[in-house]
């Protein structure tokens, strides 16, 4: 499966650069971004494809061992990074934290809203990526 259109934002984020920027943290209802549960951010075990959604991971937690381990050790004291693309807030960083919060039944989550200006400042300069997840 190719990169889903909703995730094709035209760049890949340099997470350390993003983390270094002071962006206000806010707590929002998970219901505001729960459509992210059905976006295939991840790959199923043994594949190299965009074919695993957070909802599928929660449902098949015992089969998706590597992602399950990442969810279990995810530190939910840190916010997730969200970015508005195609009129929806998508997760730039923190998909395992998001999955953990949902799996634990929380109603709210801490987020940092990444603006277009910040996104452009923190995009990767790695030339092998012309678009997020797409190698030249």
Domain 5-130: which topology?
3.90.1530
Predicted pLDDT at 59:
96
- The pTM of this model reads 0.85
Q: Break the chain into its structural domains and give their ranges.
A: 5-130
Predicted pLDDT at 6:
76
Below-50 pLDDT ranges, the chain? 128-136
Best CA proximity match to 13, nearest among 126, 135, 136: 126
């Amino acid at each position: 499966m190719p990169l889903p259109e909703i995730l094709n934002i035209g760049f890949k984020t340099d997470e350390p650069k993003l983390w270094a920027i002071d962006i206000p943290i806010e707590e929002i209802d998970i219901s505001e971004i729960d459509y992210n549960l059905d976006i295939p951010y991840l790959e199923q075990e043994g594949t190299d494809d965009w074919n695993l959604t957070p909802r599928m991971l929660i449902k098949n937690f015992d089969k998706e061992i590597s992602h399950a381990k990442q969810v279990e050790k995810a530190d939910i004291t840190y916010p997730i990074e969200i970015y508005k693309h195609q009129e929806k807030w998508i997760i730039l960083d923190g998909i395992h934290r998001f999955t953990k919060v949902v799996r634990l039944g929380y109603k709210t989550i801490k987020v940092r809203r990444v603006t277009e200006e910040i996104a452009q400042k923190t995009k990767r300069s790695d030339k092998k990526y012309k678009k997020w997840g797409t190698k030249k």
